[in-house]
């Protein structure tokens, strides 16, 4: 069988978003399994997203990369005021634009049609987020009739972090319905997301649903000097964005409570790294945590890797949002590669909590300040006693989330989706 795939993904290196890394890893692994691929993605300098050279994860030379431009930077790049940029973006969304990245759609479809006309392909494999990737994949499927596989890294309509305007929600619901109805295979990252989304569609469509989690790269290069904490303090590290309900406030409140009964400076240091972290500098000072909490803004991929590799404990910060349990943050899967203890501040029910329990790592509701403080105190005591280690099941569970394991599962479904007489097995 011809194994040639058109991969459509707005997020791809060098963009500084987690989905870019996941897509690059998957493409690399599919190439080792004999797939020929062309990746259709955004031209980095035409977008307003952050990008840097450290995010340029290696993909084989055999993988062709076609970058289509977008008018995003032309429309928004000149706006220097963050509030004004948000106002302009919300104005377009109020008029029904599904997301800012949808501005990429016309040029992406044009480029995709040219690619598909020049060579013969087995299937179209699109990824979201951003959801525009799946909409482009749908348009190319309609134009060519090629089998179409849609991947949802995050839910769309059900995402509690997306506040959709009425016309925008209507557009998104229609597009999601079209994607799921026309796709030969629909992939979700968690069982919870698959069940939530598919509950509003005909039961017969569930036969084409697969659940494939994010994957980490066991070959991720780590300098030996970075593996151990270089200082004699318990180092806890979080890397990721802070936005809307996902904030470090409950953690900071818990640290303030703990500092009232236990001396923390010189014993504990907590690194919070990522977009939005610096906005909490005044809170850290107000709570008297200057000697404990270190805040850093956006970092390169290599800098984040260095920070997590030098940690004693890796931190997952979730929110108490109603639908937080639908998500499996890719950072949690990336943490697994480091074989270090993980502290999960996340709801007790959900995809993250399920994985953390399998790894035998603690799960604490983020809004239970006393429980968070108690768990940090327990972690300090275990560190002092020299028994702060991962559980005996950690390695066995970790193997299920290797990019080799997740991509092997993906390849089996891609193969079935490309053969009309062999429908993909349902995992729902």
**Cβ-Cβ contacts under 8 Å for 386 (sequence gap 6 or more):** none
Helices within 47-165 (DSSP H only): 72-76, 82-94, 105-118, 132-144
Residue ranges for the chain with pLDDT beneath 70: 1, 53-57, 77-95, 220-231, 419-428
What is the pLDDT, as a whole number, of residue 23?
A: 96
Tokens of 195: 């069940």
Contact at 8 Å (CB) between 341 and 312?
A: yes
Q: Any idea what the Cα angle at residue 22 is, between residues 17 and 25, rounded to 5°?
A: 130
**Which of the 8 DSSP states describes residue 347?**
-
Contact at 8 Å (CB) between 337 and 305?
A: no
Quote the longest CA-to-CA distance of the chain. 69
What is the pLDDT, as a whole number, of residue 54?
A: 56
Contact at 8 Å (CB) between 133 and 23?
A: no
**Which of the 8 DSSP states describes residue 102?**
G
Q: Which of 46, 267, 245 is nearest to 162 (CA)?
A: 245
What gap in Å lies between CA 65 and CA 28, rounded to an integer? 12
Tokens of 323: 């639908």
What gap in Å lies between CA 66 and CA 39, rounded to an integer? 6
What is the pLDDT, as a whole number, of residue 224?
A: 43
Other beta carbons within 10 angstroms of residue 31's beta carbon come to 18
**Which of the 8 DSSP states describes residue 333?**
H
Contact at 8 Å (CB) between 5 and 33?
A: no
**Cβ-Cβ contacts under 8 Å for 79 (sequence gap 6 or more):** 85, 88
**Which of the 8 DSSP states describes residue 425?**
P
Report CA-CA distances (Å) from 62 to 31, 36, 58, 328, 378: 8, 7, 11, 31, 50
Tokens of 8: 């459509």
What is the pLDDT, as a whole number, of residue 61?
A: 87
Report CA-CA distances (Å) from 227 to 266, 312, 361: 21, 9, 20
What is the pLDDT, as a whole number, of residue 90?
A: 64
Contact at 8 Å (CB) between 145 and 418?
A: no
Contact at 8 Å (CB) between 389 and 379?
A: no
Note if the pTM is more than 0.85: yes
Contact at 8 Å (CB) between 130 and 101?
A: yes
Tokens of 318: 């979730």
Contact at 8 Å (CB) between 311 and 342?
A: no
What is the pLDDT, as a whole number, of residue 418?
A: 74
Domains of the chain (ranges plus CATH)? Answer: 4-215+402-417 (3.40.50.2000), 224-398 (3.40.50.2000)
Contact at 8 Å (CB) between 134 and 151?
A: yes
Other beta carbons within 10 angstroms of residue 303's beta carbon come to 15
What is the pLDDT, as a whole number, of residue 427?
A: 46
Strand-pair partners of 292: none
What gap in Å lies between CA 386 and CA 308, rounded to an integer? 20
What gap in Å lies between CA 294 and CA 273, rounded to an integer? 8
Q: How much is the CA Rg of the chain, to the nearest whole Å? A: 22
Other beta carbons within 10 angstroms of residue 218's beta carbon come to 14
Report CA-CA distances (Å) from 283 to 8, 17, 84, 239: 42, 27, 26, 19
């Amino acid at each position: 069988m011809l194994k040639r795939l058109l991969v459509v993904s707005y997020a791809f290196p060098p963009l500084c978003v987690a989905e870019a890394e996941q897509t690059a890893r998957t493409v690399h692994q599919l190439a080792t399994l004999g797939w020929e691929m062309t990746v259709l993605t955004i031209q980095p300098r035409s977008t307003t997203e952050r990008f840097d050279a450290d995010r340029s994860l290696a993909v084989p030379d055999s993988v062709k990369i076609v970058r289509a431009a977008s008018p995003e930077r032309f429309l928004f790049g000149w706006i220097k005021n963050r509030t004004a940029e948000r106002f302009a973006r919300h104005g377009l969304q109020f008029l029904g634009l599904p997301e800012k990245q949808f501005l990429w759609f016309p040029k992406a479809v044009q480029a995709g049609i040219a690619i598909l006309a020049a060579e013969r392909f087995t299937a179209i494999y699109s990824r979201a987020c951003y959801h525009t990737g799946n909409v482009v994949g749908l348009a190319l499927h309609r134009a060519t009739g090629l089998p179409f596989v849609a991947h949802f890294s995050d839910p769309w309509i059900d995402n509690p972090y997306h506040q959709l305007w009425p016309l925008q929600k209507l557009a998104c619901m229609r597009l999601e319905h079209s994607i799921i109805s026309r796709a030969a295979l629909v992939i979700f990252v968690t069982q919870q997301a698959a069940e939530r989304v598919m509950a509003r569609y005909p039961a017969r469509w569930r036969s084409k649903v697969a659940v494939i989690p994010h994957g980490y790269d066991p070959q991720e290069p780590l300098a030996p000097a970075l593996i151990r904490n270089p200082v004699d303090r318990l180092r806890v590290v979080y890397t990721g964005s802070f936005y809307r309900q996902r904030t470090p406030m409950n953690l900071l409140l818990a640290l303030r409570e703990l500092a009232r009964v236990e001396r923390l400076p010189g014993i504990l240091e907590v690194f919070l790294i990522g977009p939005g972290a610096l906005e909490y500098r005044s809170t850290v000072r107000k709570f008297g945590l200057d000697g404990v909490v270190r805040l850093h803004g956006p970092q390169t991929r290599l800098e984040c890797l260095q920070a997590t590799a030098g940690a004693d404990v890796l931190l997952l910060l979730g929110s108490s949002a109603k639908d937080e349990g639908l998500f499996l943050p890719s950072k949690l899967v990336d943490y697994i590669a480091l074989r270090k203890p993980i502290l999960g501040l996340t709801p007790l029910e959900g995809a993250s909590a399920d994985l953390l329990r399998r790894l035998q790592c603690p799960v604490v509701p983020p809004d239970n300040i006393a429980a968070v403080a108690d768990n940090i105190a327990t972690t300090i005591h275990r560190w002092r006693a020299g028994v702060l280690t991962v559980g005996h099941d950690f390695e066995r569970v970790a193997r299920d989330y290797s990019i080799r394991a997740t991509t092997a599962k993906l390849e089996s479904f891609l193969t079935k989706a490309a053969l009309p007489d062999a429908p993909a097995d349902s995992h729902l």
